[in-house]
C-alpha cells in the first residue's frame, strides 16, 4: 500500500479534480445530481444513474441508505427507507457503482453514514469502493476530528474524502477542513446551503454568496473547488450558485421526480431534467 503521507498515483479521485477543471475551462459550474441506490429498485436505480450521466451530470452522488439518516429530509428518508425494505445494502451499493462505472466515465461519489461503513470494515469499504468505480466519499455524520481512520484508508485507495461545511462553522474549523482536503487525494468541499436537513427550497438563502466567499478565504491557497448543496432544484438555482461557487448538487428534487413518474417514464424524465439543469 502507498504510505498515508503521499497521494496515490492515478488515483480515482483525480477524476473529480479533472471534472472541475474541465467545467472551469468551459466557463460553467459542475452539476452533481444525487440518487439513492436501490430506489425505486436496484436495477432501475442503475439505469436512472446512467441516464443522468447521459443528460450532462459532471459528478454523481450515490446515496447509501441508512436506517437513521440525520442529515436527510423527508423526501430522501422516504427513498432510503424503501431501498432498505427492498434489500439494498452496502454490498448492493457497490454492485450499482460497478454497473454504472462500466457504462459511463462520470466520477461517482458514495454519500452515506459512517455506521454501515464501520460495520463493513473501513479498509475493506475503501478498497471495494475504489475497485467498483467510486472516486470519492461524503459522510455527513463524520466530524473531521474523528475522520483520521477513514481519511487514511481513503487516501491509500485513491479516494477523495469530501467534507461538509454548514453556515455555522467557525473559521478555525474551516481552515482545518481545508488543510485535510489539501493533504488528501483531491476532491472538493461540500458547502451546505442552510443549517438543517436536505429538501427542496423555493428560494436560495440570502447569506449564501457571503458564506461561500468566507469559505473561499480559507481554500483559495489550496485551489479546492467549492460545491453547494441542500435545497437546490431549479435551473435558476444552479445558474445563481455556480456564478460564485464551482459546483451545485441536486438531490431531493430528483427523488420527487422519480416518485412522480412510473418505471417506463422515469429514465427519460431524469435525463431531460438533468439536461435542463446542465449548462453545457
In contact, 39 and 92? CB cutoff 8 Å: no
Find cell 454501515 and name the residue: 116
Q: Which of 26, 54, 72, 236 is catalytic?
A: 72
Q: Rounded to 5, what percent of the chain is helix, strand, coil?
A: 50, 15, 40
DSSP state of 23: H
133 and 106 Cβ atoms separated by less than 8 Å: no
Give the torsion through C-alpha atoms of 246, 248, 249, 252, to 10 deg: 170
Beta-carbon-side half-sphere exposure of residue 128 (alpha carbons within 13 Å):
16
Annotated catalytic residue 72:
yes
What grid cell was written down for 117? 461503513
| Cis peptide leading into residue 40 (ω within 30°) | yes
* Candidates 58, 61, 128, 200; catalytic one: 61
Q: 2 catalytic, yes or no? A: no
The answer to whether the beta carbons of residues 158 and 12 sit under 8 Å apart is yes
How far is it, in rounded angstroms, from Cα 216 to Cα 223?
9
Q: How far is CA 23 from CA 30, 250, 273, 279, in A?
A: 6, 17, 19, 9
Sign for the CA dihedral angle at 33, 138, 143, 210 comes to: negative
Query: What CA–CA distances, in Å, run from 202 to 23, 54, 237, 251?
Result: 26, 27, 9, 14
Question: Which residues belong to the active site?
Answer: 61, 72
Amino acid at each position: 500500500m502507498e504510505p498515508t503521507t503521499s497521494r496515490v498515483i492515478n488515483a480515482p479521485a483525480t477524476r473529480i479534480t479533472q471534472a472541475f477543471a474541465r467545467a472551469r475551462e468551459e466557463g460553467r459550474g459542475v452539476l452533481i445530481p444525487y440518487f439513492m441506490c436501490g430506489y425505486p429498485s436496484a436495477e432501475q436505480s442503475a439505469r436512472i444513474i446512467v441516464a443522468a450521466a447521459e443528460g450532462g451530470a459532471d459528478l454523481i452522488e450515490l446515496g447509501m441508505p441508512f436506517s437513521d439518516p440525520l442529515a436527510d429530509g423527508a423526501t430522501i428518508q422516504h427513498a432510503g427507507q424503501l431501498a432498505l425494505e427492498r434489500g439494498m445494502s452496502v454490498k448492493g451499493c457497490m454492485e450499482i457503482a460497478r454497473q454504472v462505472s462500466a457504462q459511463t466515465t462520470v466520477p461517482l461519489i458514495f454519500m452515506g453514514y459512517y455506521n454501515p461503513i464501520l460495520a463493513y470494515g473501513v479498509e475493506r469499504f475503501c478498497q471495494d469502493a475504489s475497485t467498483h468505480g467510486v472516486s470519492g466519499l461524503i459522510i455527513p455524520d463524520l466530524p473531521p476530528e474523528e475522520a483520521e481512520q477513514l481519511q487514511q484508508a481513503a487516501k491509500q485507495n485513491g479516494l477523495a474524502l469530501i467534507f461538509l461545511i454548514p453556515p455555522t462553522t467557525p473559521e478555525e474549523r474551516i481552515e482545518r477542513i481545508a488543510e485535510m482536503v489539501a493533504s488528501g487525494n483531491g476532491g472538493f468541499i461540500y458547502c451546505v446551503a442552510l443549517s438543517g436537513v436536505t429538501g427542496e427550497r423555493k428560494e436560495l438563502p440570502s447569506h449564501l454568496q457571503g458564506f461561500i466567499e468566507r469559505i473561499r478565504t480559507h481554500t483559495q491557497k489550496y485551489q479546492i473547488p467549492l460545491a453547494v448543496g441542500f435545497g437546490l432544484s431549479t435551473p435558476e438555482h444552479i445558474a445563481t450558485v455556480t456564478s460564485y461557487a464551482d459546483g451545485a448538487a441536486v438531490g431531493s428534487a430528483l427523488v420527487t421526480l422519480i416518485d412522480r413518474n412510473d418505471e417506463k417514464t422515469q429514465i427519460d424524465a431524469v435525463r431531460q431534467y438533468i439536461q435542463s439543469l446542465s449548462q453545457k
